[in-house]
Chains A and B, each alone.
Chain A
Amino acid sequence: MSSKLTRSNRAGWLFALPGFSLLFLFIIVPFFFAFWLSLTNQRLVSPNQAEFVGLQNYSNLLGLAVVTLEPERDDAGEIVRDDDGEIEYPRVRTITRNKEFPQYRGMGEWFRWQWGDTAKVVIASDVLFMKALVNTLAFALFIVPVQGGGALLLALLINQKLRGINVFRTVYFMPVVISIVVISLLWRFIYSGNDGLLNNILEVLTFGAFTPIDWLGRTDTALGSIIAMSAWQGMGFHMVIWLAGLQAISPTLYEAAAIEGASKWQTFRYITWPGLRNTAVLVLIVITMQSFAVFAQVDVMTNGGPLDSTQTLVFQTVERGYGKQDISGGATISVILFLMVLTISAIQGYLTRERK
């Protein structure tokens, strides 16, 4: 005779079945499929049979080396300098295209620094991947505090018993509901260099002293612009999570604090923040995971440009897999991304664990 528990469990599993099977079919199976593809040279469109290539895709992405460039010297042995007094070096291609160094073939310069008279150049098998990696990490690093902190601020603001507070809640939540593609298109207009809204506002505020900036067209502002817009877009979602956390804190604690004469800051520091601990861990991990998947904004607003300043890993995955028909290359990036996100989430989970 089955107990009530297993019976209701059976019903529970039955209800979960559609969801689980869809997750299995569209998340878990493709994941293992991608892992397998990353070990082959599968192309999207090709008459050639795919072959097993082991870890070659990984070494094609992750290959790094440092080469030293000796300065150019004239016949007298003097170092050649250009008009600005900078030392002239031979081109990196004299090494990467040199038959004497087959191990560097096809690699390109990522960055370099000066070391005495010589130049140390870091060359990568896939410079684009390296740039995308750095940009994605920068994106995650900035968006976690901005989006999480902003969302907490909004949650504190709307956690008040005011008339019409639901209007504010709705307004703040609105960007989450609108498609990210639509939002990206709108923000393209806002950031426009000619007469975009942002430039106009800044000009009015500074009485014309501000010179308009082509926000998405400059290497030093493009990624920042995308970060700011993405943080704003996702804030409403995390605001709701913070709000749920805030409302779970017992009002008696606040009453006690009020009787003790605690200041606003003390109330926040010793009651609200400790009460939000679990919520904070959740928000931190969710934002981190989401931020590694940044794609639509880049695709719509900058296409990875200018000069690769907004390349991201997922954008590169799609660009490679579908644009350049290199399915195995795209799959390799997604596996690397998965491992990265897994590691970072695990570290975050460990660091924020409850110490007893």
Chain B
Amino acid sequence: MKLTKTILGALAASTALAGAATAQTELTLWYHGAGNDVESSLLNTVIEDFNAAQSDWTVTVESFPQQSYNDSVVASALAGNLPCILDVDGPVMPNWAWAGYLQPLPISDEAVEGHLDATIGRYNGEIYSVGLWDAAVALYARQSTLDELGLRTPTLDEPWSKDEFMAALDAAKASGNYDYALDLGTAWTGEWYPYAYSPFLQSFGGDIVDRETYASAEGVLNSDEAIEFGEWWQSLFEEGYAPGTSQDPADRDSGFNEDKYAFSWNGNWAAAATLEAGVDDVRFLPAPDFGNGSTIGAGSWQFGVSSACEHPEGAAAFVEHALQDKYMAGFSDGIGLIPASKEAAQMTEKYAEGGPLAVFFDLSEQQAKVRPVTPGYVVAAKVFEKALADIANGADVADTLDAAVDEIERDIESNQGYGH
């Protein structure tokens, strides 16, 4: 009897709670960061503050592990169960917008003024998603290595040219001090390939797809410049400058810190570990300029509104609330990301002017270029990844790039041009 009473009591209490909550409209938020305690508690602070600061909306969060996040969204979209606010990876956003998973985010221009370009997800002339942070990639090197090999320290204004870069690799290789001169991170599969390596291709003068029309990759991914890029890419592995696709993931994580590699092409998220490992003379160098300027990839996780959301203004209010400098600085300090605004960067320990990672903010601000803004990017990225892995493993460059072009084109055709 006592048990029944308790259950009834609990039921009554929960109904009362639900009754009280109807005064505010509930908005569900899906987030990709399950399993990361720091990230979760940062996000919870933002949500609690928002819920307390106004009386119209209550945001509740459901977190998913990053690995299965996209699958969960796709599955729930097919089932018609999308939450109101979605967290979306920058390059994937156009795909979801095109598929009708997302609706434009009704956010004011002032809210994102002065933010890094790549943190604002624009598609078809409208803002669909906004991020609190970005990520950037740099060439890790020790000052001692540069001095020892007699190399000029490249700067943002004057990055290494292709010849200087190759001379640096030659010098590192000839010194015999390292397992490999360059660590490109080929052990990381998936989105890392197009994110980290397509900027090299762009610097050579090619690209993954034709950004003018988004209808084809012919003459872009298999242009003479792209083939030149491919030959260069292949030579890095054939001539033993860099470990190939079977690189040990453990070496990728700690190889540079343990002096196995002279240079490492890695993101800002790995910088904290390098500094903690005692590599205090590490320099973060800009990408070499292969002829068309030095550039890196951009665009990280962002917030958007799902098409199922009946209250996009509520979602926009939450996103505007989250875009405060203090939260962006908090995420940066907590999980090492580059804050979206200069002001927020000044509030962080590492990205403030003179901070150890300030250079990453400058890289994001000056050189970052978003990946092709098209729904077809999701597939093109996979094709590009495979092409680069194959070329690294010795496949014929021109044939591989041609085949990649064919596959991308077939995909665009079977999607009726992806609405461009």
Contacts from A to B (Cβ < 8 Å):
41, 43-48, 91-93, 96, 106, 108-109, 127, 192-194, 214, 216-217, 219, 303-308, 319, 322-326
Contacts and interface: CB of A to CB of B under 8 A. Distances in A.
A323 B382 contact: yes
A57 B129 CA distance: 35
B82 to A, nearest CB: 13
Given A46-B99, A214-B246, A217-B244, A308 B390 contact: yes
Contacts of B98: 46-47
B158 interface: no
B389 interface: yes
7 contacts: A45-B95, A108-B403, A194-B251, A214-B244, A324-B378, A326-B379, A326-B411
A356 B96 CA distance: 63
Given A45-B95, A45-B99, A106-B410, A192 B71 contact: no
B355 interface: no
A308 B395 CA distance: 10
B379 A325 contact: yes
A214 B240 CA distance: 14
A308 B387 CA distance: 11
Nearest to A53: B414
A48 B415 contact: yes
B370 to A, nearest CB: 20
The dominant DSSP class at the A interface is loop
A47 B382 contact: no
Contacts, number: 77
A53 to B, nearest CB: 10
Given A194-B251, A307-B395, A47 B99 contact: yes
Given A217-B244, A307-B394, A109 B399 contact: yes
A279 to B, nearest CB: 39
B278 to A, nearest CB: 23
Interface of B: 71, 74, 77, 95-96, 98-101, 179, 189, 244-246, 248, 251, 378-379, 382-383, 386, 389-390, 393-395, 398-399, 402-403, 406, 409-411, 414-416, 419
A43 B378 CA distance: 13
A37 to B, nearest CB: 13
A305 B99 contact: no
Q: Identify whether the interface residues of B are mostly helix, strand, loop, or mixed.
A: helix
A111 to B, nearest CB: 13
Contacts of B386: 304
A306 B389 contact: yes
A47 B415 CA distance: 9
Contact of B245 (A48, A108, A306): A306
B416 A325 contact: no
B378 A325 contact: yes
Of A43, A46, A303, most buried by chain B (CB within 10 Å of CB) is: A46
Q: Name the 7 nearest CB pairs between A and B, nearest first.
A: A217-B246, A306-B393, A45-B99, A324-B379, A307-B393, A47-B100, A108-B403
Contact of B406 (A91, A108, A319): A108
A306 B246 contact: yes
A307 B414 CA distance: 26
A346 B377 CA distance: 43
A324 B248 contact: no
B415 A194 contact: no
B246 A193 contact: yes
